[in-house]
């Protein structure tokens, strides 16, 4: 029985994975913001005779302090983690630059910084597994230049949440490199995974404008995968992790790491900038 942590597991891909893993007999720890959705998921786990293998932990993963708290909470409850799956994302379209109460741009904090903290802080727990794996559900293959002087897109003209998410995917690519380098002497594997267009509620309900919403739903009906189908490749990787320390896939297609991350040395720069940012907001932060 595997112990699998899913960050952002009460909706969409994370939720579907949680239920399927319960069916498969695995132990699942779900981290999410909504206690109500967590309770709904617990009831479904109980219907699958998996309540004893299900744990929901409430946390706002857009906050540095909450990520660190939840790592400590998981560490108190389990001896090791076999796999960490990172799904948390806010797909709601917005032109408003919104900061968390810690003073960080919301999408940057949730889509990149949370993944950074959990990836590094769960390393010790993952090292105790025979075949540890981190799956970062983001968008490898999407080309996006890094705004090195403005990682949170504070001064890049009118704010756009789509731009913020695309930029976050570029940051997550480099996070994969940094984690793989940090784990070079371990057996931790890191997988950057792009599920493509998936018919989740978050994706199809992202826009408030009714006409745009109807158009998006039509497009996703044509090109989007149902969630049950979209998680099949992830379930395959859970069962059979990649052999390389860092891999990237778009659905079932393996991507060339050298093409999607042409300058791996930039990961060191991003690592240092991220550590400096966390220390300014939260105090000392060690990744070893």
pLDDT band at residue 216 using 50, 70 and 90 as cut-offs: low
Encode pLDDT of 30-64 as tens digits: 999 999 999 999 999 999 999 999 999 999 999 99
Residue 179 has pLDDT above 60, yes or no: yes
Encode pLDDT of 116-159 as tens digits: 999 999 999 999 999 999 999 998 887 778 999 999 998 877 88
**pLDDT at residue 160 in the model:** 85
- Lowest-pLDDT range of 63-67, 207-211, 236-240, 260-264: 207-211
**pLDDT at residue 207 in the model:** 60
**pLDDT at residue 212 in the model:** 66
**pLDDT at residue 113 in the model:** 97
Q: What whole-number percentage of the chain has pLDDT above 70?
A: 92
**pLDDT at residue 93 in the model:** 72
Task: Name all domains of the chain by residue range, CATH numbers in brackets.
Answer: 3-195+231-282 (3.40.50.720), 200-226 (no CATH)
Question: How wide is the angle at C-alpha 124 spanned by C-alphas 234 and 139, nearest 5°?
Answer: 30
């Amino acid at each position: 029985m595997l112990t699998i942590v899913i960050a952002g597991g009460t909706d969409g891909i994370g939720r579907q994975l949680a239920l399927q893993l319960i069916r498969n007999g695995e132990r699942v720890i779900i981290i999410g913001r909504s206690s109500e959705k967590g309770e709904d998921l617990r009831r479904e786990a109980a219907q699958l005779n998996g309540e004893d293998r299900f744990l929901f932990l409430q946390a706002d993963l857009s906050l540095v302090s909450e990520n660190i708290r939840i790592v400590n909470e998981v560490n108190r409850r389990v001896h090791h983690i076999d796999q960490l799956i990172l799904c948390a994302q806010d797909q709601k379209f917005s032109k408003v630059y919104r900061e968390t109460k810690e003073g960080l741009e919301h999408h940057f904090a949730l889509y990149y910084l949370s993944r950074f903290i959990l990836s590094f802080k769960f390393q010790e727990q993952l090292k105790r597994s025979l075949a540890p794996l981190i799956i970062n559900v983001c968008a490898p293959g999407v080309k996006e230049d890094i705004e090195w002087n403005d990682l949170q897109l504070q001064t890049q003209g009118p704010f756009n949440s789509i731009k913020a998410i695309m930029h976050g995917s570029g940051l997550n690519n480099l996070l994969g490199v940094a984690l793989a380098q940090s784990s070079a002497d371990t057996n931790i594997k890191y997988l950057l995974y792009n599920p493509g267009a998936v018919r989740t509620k978050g994706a199809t309900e992202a826009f408030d404008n009714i006409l745009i919403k109807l158009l998006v739903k039509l497009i996703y009906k044509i090109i989007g995968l149902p969630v049950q189908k979209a998680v099949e490749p992830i379930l395959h990787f859970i069962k059979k992790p990649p052999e390389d320390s860092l891999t990237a896939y778009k659905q079932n297609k393996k991507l060339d790491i050298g093409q999607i991350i042409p300058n791996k040395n930039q990961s060191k720069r991003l690592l240092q900038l991220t550590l400096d940012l966390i220390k300014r907001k939260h105090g000392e932060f060690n990744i070893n």
